Amino acid sequence: MKRVKKDFKLVTDTLMVDYNLLANEGSEAESIIEEIFEVYLQDYLKDFTRKSSGRLLKSIVTNILANLLNAESQGYSSLIYPMGKKNFQASRYLPKFITERLVVRAVQILVDAKVVIQDVGTKKMIQIRSTFGGSDTSLVQQAASLRFTEDICYGDLEWGSFSVRPETEVIILKSKRKTPSSSSELVNYTDTTNMGKEIKESIRPFVRKINDYLLSHTIEYSGDHLCDRSSTSYHRIFNQGTIKRGGRYFGHWAQNIPAKERHLIRIDGQKVMDLDYQAMYYNLLLYRDGATEAPQEDPFLIPGYEEFRGTFKTLAYALLNSSSLLKNSPEGLMPPGCKLSYSTLKTILILHLPILKKYLKSEIGMELMNLESRIIGRAVMNMMDRDNGFVILHDGLLVAQNSKHPEGCMHEAFSHIIGWDSKVTKEMH
């Protein structure tokens, strides 16, 4: 498998532009944007009044300013936006008024007015932080960064200054990778196919129901981990061009808080706890293989190698998701100072769980992920029925410690979808 060279620039304090971001009406951010227009952009008013294109240009300038204010107020050093035509292809994921020509013009106006400084990237691969698409980082070949000039500094803004457009697509469909080392592409599906109709009639409305529901519950964090706190809604990402693969929930800022910092999260003012299905992925594999009940023991706790439990679990997931044999260790898998080789750990795991060998190179993980997301969706529905707040953690939930019967919500969901009893682990924070 071709491996990406690791000589690209790693930027950990940079935020990706979100063309669906809005400064909320009546917010401090909206007032600041109006002030910037009045103080710095008077000479460009003619650009904003030329028929419809001028109004669209003003919308883009406003969006970029909202992104910059959001980034600055949360401690990010700059705002990254990809360049190149492929990043501006018309699709259901991009607002209709966003075009490469208008974005370039909008940025140039802000540069000329000495509102921002632009650093144009090279054509080399760089790695930037991005929560979109379900990963912490993205590889972008052509990108530029923006930051306010030194004499413009607004600092922290009030909570709730930003939101995303109500019409922002919450069901994201990605294509199947052409090769193991290539990236999947966004699929611009329609709502008129059988798959599209199912998305329109049930999948998308349910995600929007979750997002609307959570507006009545507060989720707060008192730590200083860098995360985009304007991202307060969920979207689902399906893979391989079908709604039968993948489907996990992504998007909420609280998903990106490290586990060791979750004690600093409050839901509706209450301390929180993790609820997790034990060995969910592995149990779903057994179910898919024809088993009729889940094993009681922890499958990744291998006698003599107990300290590698987390490593074995991560490796099992990687093997089930891969279309290759993974002859080389996945990045970040091996524990620091580990005296065993990757090959040895892989052999130990497969000997202990021989069913893994049967499904090597199958990419069955995406199918298991789909089952997992259906279970989590059912558990979330149960939580909403009991008026509980929550954070979705892919295969588990973060809930307030005073929630009403949260473990029962999860047990019922697993039983309803799979027909098995489940073991839910609980960790208080």
Q: How confident is the model at residue 312 (pLDDT cuts 50, 70, 90)?
A: very high
Q: Please say if the pLDDT value at position 292 is more than 60.
A: yes
Question: What is the per-residue pLDDT for 5?
Answer: 41
Question: What is the per-residue pLDDT for 86?
Answer: 79
Encode pLDDT of 94-105 as tens digits.
Answer: 998 898 889 989
CA dist 204 and 371 (Å) reads 17
Q: Kindly report the pTM of this predicted structure.
A: 0.89
Helix H segments across 129-276? Answer: 194-198, 204-214
Region 182-200: what's the mean pLDDT? 91
Alpha-carbon torsion angle 47, 49, 55, 57, nearest 10: 0
Q: Please say if the pLDDT value at position 74 is more than 90.
A: no
Alpha-carbon torsion angle 311, 314, 320, 324, nearest 10: -70
Question: What is the per-residue pLDDT for 255?
Answer: 94
**Residues in the chain, total:** 429
Encode pLDDT of 383-410 as tens digits.
Answer: 999 999 999 998 899 999 999 999 999 9
DSSP H or E stretch at residue 107: helix 100-112
Question: What is the per-residue pLDDT for 47?
Answer: 83
Closest CA to 147 of 73, 79, 62, 69: 79
